[in-house]
Amino acid sequence: MNQSVQSIKILSVVGARPNFIKIAPIARTIEEHNSKDCIPTINHLIVHTGQHYDDMMSSRFFEDLELPKPHVNLDVGSATHAVQTAKIMERFEPILLKEQPDVLLIVGDVNSTVACTLVASKIQYNGTAKRLRPIIGHIEAGLRSFDRDMPEEINRILTDALSDLLFITEESARINLEREGIPYEKIHFVGNVMIDTLIKHLEKASTLNTLASIGLKREKLSKGYGVITLHRPSNVDTETTLSSLVKCIENIAKELPLIFSLHPRTRVNLKRFGIYDDLAKNSRIYLTEPLGYLEFLNLLSSATMVLTDSGGIQEETTFLQVPCITLRSNTERPVTVSIGTNYLVGVNPDKILETAFSILNKREKRGTVPPLWDGKAGKRILEILINYLENGGNYSKS
């Protein structure tokens, strides 16, 4: 029988731009819950690890998403995977011991995710705490690329193995987790918090004119425009691969103006390999700094096509029904390919160009929105957390 819980302390961790998008619906749902004087009352703290420290990659997103300012910023900055993970763990442990939250919510698959999970799984609160350690809830659990050369894949596997509650976005994630020995009772299909955020902000984003700020006039775009993002080391850290992708971009730009939002890592490597100047001189390619969430959503929602190696953009374009060409040989979000608008093409130039020109010739596939991508994932997660605590920490789904 459920026991009434009067108050809950939840600590959420964010470290990189996608994390902010994913935690925003949780923060909003908690604020709505507390505004109605519901029991239990919820004390929500946000810890920013500082894994992304550029203003456009961090604080600007807090403003766009109407997120409360983080209560703590660990300021770890950029470093190797080992050094960054170690710094996060070292700086996060005292915060966890001080705050002693009932629940630790971690999202996605960045170094902050696995580092804070490792700390929480081993910590021991003092004798006055309600429990020995926090309940660990992983939002966006179970996604697998099956490519262990991706650092994110290692982070996903370790985080899921140590989490108490696993919140999934698509049914493939359930299959992956059960194959890895995770009990069925721990897994909860809640939908997609990224889509919660998109739905919340789509109308506001539609009022912007990002094209004009970039220097494009919509009335002169007979075929529309394309959007490009690249940031994965496998695509941008090797001169041969990056040069090949740039040549594809230049070929597509002959038919479709392209807006290339440059990740700092990508900009540095374009210059290092001597590719940047020619790209910047191309009148059909518009290079921009990393855009704010609303500006980018404004571009994304009306694009003719998107070329990317981002996981989250595969999901956003599927919801928006915008053709997405994913420049990777694998994806941890297969539902975007099986029923969505995503094309998984790798980095083969012929395949990239064939897919792009097929879309331009109006031969793109028709996608549908995956189940439970309805803007209510944050509410489902909070309901499950409250029910879990009121059931004394068992996995009953009744």
Q: How far apart are CA 328 and CA 345, in angstroms?
A: 6
One-character DSSP codes across 321-332: T--EEE-SS--S
- 188 is known as an active-site residue: no
Q: How far apart are CA 384 and CA 113, in angstroms?
A: 21
Q: Could you tell me the strand order of the sheet in which 41-48 lies? A: 72-73, 41-48, 7-14, 103-107, 135-139, 165-168, 187-189
Rg (CA), the chain: 21
211 closest CA partner among 227, 229, 230, 200: 227
**What pairs with residue 107 in β-bridges?**
139
Query: Are residues 46 and 86 in contact, defined by beta-carbon separation less than 8 angstroms?
Result: no
284 closest CA partner among 226, 359, 357, 354: 226
- Rounded to whole angstroms, what are the CA distances from 227 to 30, 304, 305, 323, 351? 34, 8, 7, 11, 18
- Which of 33, 138, 188, 231 is an active site residue? 231
Query: Are residues 112 and 15 in contact, defined by beta-carbon separation less than 8 angstroms?
Result: yes
Q: How far apart are CA 160 and CA 121, in angstroms?
A: 11
- Rounded to whole angstroms, what are the CA distances from 152 to 108, 145, 199, 217, 336? 9, 9, 26, 38, 19
**What pairs with residue 105 in β-bridges?**
12, 137
Residue positions annotated with a catalytic role:
231
